């Protein structure tokens, strides 16, 4: 497969552990945030989103937390599985704009 | 489910050739985007379109042009391909400015 990025921060976990991937954003005017998962050689896949009027949102095995005070976003994956191994990106949209600003990504490696 | 398709998964072209990358979405989305993704640089926006026949420059438009003659189709054109345009090209679409972008599988372009 192809690497989507060199020198990415890497999080290594064991199967069954919970994973937390963090993302800092810089613009307090950002009002919509998205987490994407990208497997090697594939396009980014939407996981979960959250708007700035929320602090927490849950999906299936995933939870996104938003801390606007410190401009921090996190993605929590419960009971991590080998199929969760991928690069995870956060992205933000500034209020009034249509374009996303992407973080560089974090590589999650899950060992069986 | 949203489906974004790209005309080729892999493409090899020679320097100076004109290259067309096609993207089609089937969800009647207003906005469409072209990105390139390079190791260490993340996703960078080349061009986007918020309506038929409309286009806006992204962060790195030099060497590229786009065409949106129909709502569902957004084409990226490399007028004269160069080796520094070797990259993974990703197309995305979104319903509106404040909605999630959905990505295609990507086209890995190699320019020799």
For residue A7, name the pLDDT band (cuts at 50, 70, 90).
low
Exposure string of B33-59, with b = 16+ CB inside 10 Å and e = fewer, is bbbbbeeeebbebbbbbbeeeebeebe
B37 touches chain A (CB under 8 A): yes
- Residue A12's pLDDT is 95
Burial group, residue B79, by CB count within 10 angstroms (0-12, 13-18, 19+): exposed
Q: Which of A36, A43, A89 sits opposite B104 (nearest CB)?
A: A43
Q: Which residues of B touch A39 (CB under 8 A)?
A: none
Q: Which of B40, B88, B101 sits opposite A100 (nearest CB)?
A: B101
Mutation target for B interface from A44, A64, A96: give the one with most B CBs within 10 A: A44
Closest-approach residue (CA) in chain A for B90: A43
Closest-approach residue (CA) in chain B for A37: B103
Closest-approach residue (CA) in chain A for B105: A43
Average pLDDT of the residues in B69-90: 97
Among A33, A53, A40, smallest CA distance to A1 is for A40
Average pLDDT of the residues in B78-84: 97
Whether the per-residue pLDDT at A100 is higher than 90: the answer is: no
Question: If you ran DSSP here, which 8-state letter would residue A16 be given?
Answer: T
The mean of the pLDDT values for chain B is 94
Whether the per-residue pLDDT at A40 is higher than 60: the answer is: yes
Average pLDDT of the residues in A42-48: 94
Which residues 6+ apart lie within 8 Å of B50 measured at CB?
A: A98, B30, B31, B56, B97
Beta strand pairing status for B42-49 and B19-25?
unpaired
């Amino acid at each position: 497969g192809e690497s989507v990025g060199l020198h990415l921060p890497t999080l290594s976990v064991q199967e069954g552990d919970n994973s937390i991937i963090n993302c800092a954003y810089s613009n307090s005017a950002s009002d919509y945030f998205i987490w994407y998962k990208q497997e090697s050689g594939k396009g980014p896949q939407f996981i979960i989103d959250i708007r700035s009027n929320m602090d927490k949102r849950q999906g299936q095995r995933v939870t996104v937390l938003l801390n606007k005070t410190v401009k921090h976003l996190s993605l929590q994956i419960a009971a991590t599985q080998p199929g969760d191994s991928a690069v995870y990106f956060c992205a933000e949209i500034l209020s009034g704009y249509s374009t996303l600003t992407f973080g560089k990504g974090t590589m999650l490696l899950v060992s069986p | 489910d949203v489906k974004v398709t790209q005309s080729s998964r892999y493409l090899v072209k020679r320097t100076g050739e004109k290259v067309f990358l096609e993207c089609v979405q089937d969800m009647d989305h207003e906005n469409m985007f072209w990105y390139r993704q390079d190791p260490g640089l993340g996703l960078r926006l080349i061009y986007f379109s918020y309506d038929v026949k409309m286009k806006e420059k992204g962060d790195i438009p030099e060497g590229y042009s786009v065409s949106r003659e129909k709502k569902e189709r957004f084409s990226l054109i490399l007028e004269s391909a160069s080796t520094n345009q070797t990259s993974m090209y990703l197309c995305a679409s979104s319903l509106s400015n404040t909605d999630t972008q959905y990505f295609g599988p990507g086209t890995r372009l190699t320019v020799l």
